[in-house]
Structure 1
Amino acid sequence: MARWCVPRGRTSTKGNGLDMEPEKRKMNLCRTSESDREWDCAISRTASRADSGSECRFLFQAMAALGVRQPCASSAVFRTQSPKWTSCIVPVTLNCRAQQRSCCPSRVCAICGTDSAENDTHAFKLQRRRSLVVSILLPLLPAIINSDPGSTASAAEEEAVRLEQIRAAVRKFVTKAKAAGVLRLVFHDAGPFNLATKQGGMNGSIVLELERPENQGLNRSIKVLSKVKAALEPDVEVSWADLIAVAGAEAVSICGGPKIDVQLGRLDSSLPDPEGQMPEETLTGSQLREAFQAKGFSTQELVALSGAHSVGGKGFGDPYTFDNIYYKILLDKPWLTKENETKMIGLDSDRALPEDEECLRWVNAYAQDQDLFFRDFTSAYMKLVDTGVRRL
Structure 2
Amino acid sequence: MELNSIPYIASWSSSSSCFYYSYSRCACRGTRDGKLVTKASAAGRKRAADSVCSQLSEQGTEDSISGPRSSWRIRRRDLASAILLPFLIPRVNISIAAEIYDASIIRSGVRSVLTKGKAAGVLRLVFHDAGTFEIGDGSGGMNGSIIYEVDRPENIGLNRSIKILRKAKEGIDNVQKVSWADLIAVAGAEAVALCGGPEIPVRLGRVDSSSADPSGKLPEETLDAASLKTLFSKKGFSAQELVVLSGAHTIGGKGFGSPVVFDNTYFKVLLDNRPPQTSSKAGNGMAAMVGLRTDWALTEDDECLRWIRIYAEDQARFFDDFRDTYIKLVDSGASWRTA
TM-score tier after normalising by the smaller chain length: 0.5 to 0.7
Aligned: 1:192 with 2:137: no
Whole-Å separation in 2 of the counterparts to 1:339 and 1:376: 30
**Partner of residue 249, structure 2:** 309
Per the alignment, residue 354 of structure 1 pairs with: 299
Aligned counterpart in structure 2 of residue 237 of structure 1, from 172, 177, 184: 177
Note if 1:391 corresponds to 2:336: yes
- 1:267 aligned onto 2:207: yes
What TM-score comes out, normalization by structure 1 length?
Answer: 0.58
Q: TM-score, normalised by structure 2?
A: 0.67
Shift of 1:339: 5.0
Corresponding residue number in structure 1 for 2:114: 174
Identity across matched positions, percent: 57
Aligned to 1:203: 143
Write out per-residue CA displacement over residues 52-87 of structure 1, whole angstroms, 9 at most, x where no aligned residue: xxxxxxxxxxxxxxxxxxxxxxxxxxxxxxxxxxxx
Amino acid at match of 2:201: D
Q: Is the 8 A contact 2:273 2:286 kept in 1?
A: no
Distance across 1 between alignment mates of 2:284 and 2:106:
47
> How far apart, in 2, do the equivalents of 1:175 and 1:208 lie?
25
Contact 1:190/1:203, CA 8 A, preserved across alignment: yes
Mapped partners of 1:264, 1:344: distance in 2: 39
Residue deviations 1:146-197 (CA, integer Å, cap 9, x gap): xxxx97xx87x943xx101110111111100000000000000001111101
Compute the displacement of 1:234 (Å). Answer: 2.4
Count of aligned residue pairs for this structure pair: 240
Query: In the alignment, residue 256 of structure 1 is paired with which amino acid?
Result: G
Shift in Å at residue 338 of structure 1?
Answer: 5.5
Q: 2:39 maps to which residue?
A: none
Alignment match, 1:292 = 232
Judging changes above 3 Å, is the alpha-carbon distance between structure 1 residues 340 and 387 closer, same or farther for their aligned structure 2 residues? Answer: closer
Contact 2:182/2:205 (<8 A) preserved: yes
Could you list the runs of 5+ residues in structure 2 that have no partner in the other structure? 1-14, 17-91, 277-282
Residue 214 of structure 1: which of 151, 154, 158 is its match?
Answer: 154
Q: CA deviation at 1:340?
A: 3.8
Q: 8 Å contact 2:130–2:141 — kept in the other structure? A: yes
Residue 318 of structure 1 aligns with which residue? 258
Q: Is the counterpart of residue 364 in structure 1 residue 309 in structure 2?
A: yes
The answer to whether the Cα contact below 8 Å between 1:335 and 1:345 also exists between their aligned partners in 2 is no
> Alpha carbon RMSD of aligned pairs, Å?
2.2
Ranges in structure 1 where 5+ consecutive residues have no aligned partner: 1-48, 51-149
Q: Which amino acid aligns with 2:167?
A: K
Distance, in Å, in 2 between the alignment partners of 1:268 and 1:335 is: 43
Q: Which amino acid aligns with 1:363?
A: I
**Which SS does the other structure have where 1:317 is aligned?**
coil
- Distance (whole Å) between structure 2 residues aligned to residue 203 and residue 339 of structure 1: 39
Relative distance call for 1:315 and 1:334 in structure 2 (3 A) is farther
Q: Quote the offset at 1:260 in angstroms.
A: 0.3
Misfit runs of 4+, over 6 Å: 334-337
Give the match's secondary structure for 1:232. Answer: helix
Q: 1:361 to 1:210 in 2, by over 3 A?
A: same
Give 1:354 shift: 1.1
Instruction: Give the whole-Å Cα distance in 2 for the aligned partners of 1:283 and 1:273.
Output: 21
Give 1:335 shift.
Answer: 6.6
Relative contact order higher in (CA < 8 Å, ≥ 6 apart): 2
**Which position in structure 2 is the counterpart of 1:281?**
221
Instruction: Report the Cα offset of residue 344 of structure 1.
Output: 2.6
CA apart distance, 1:303: 0.6
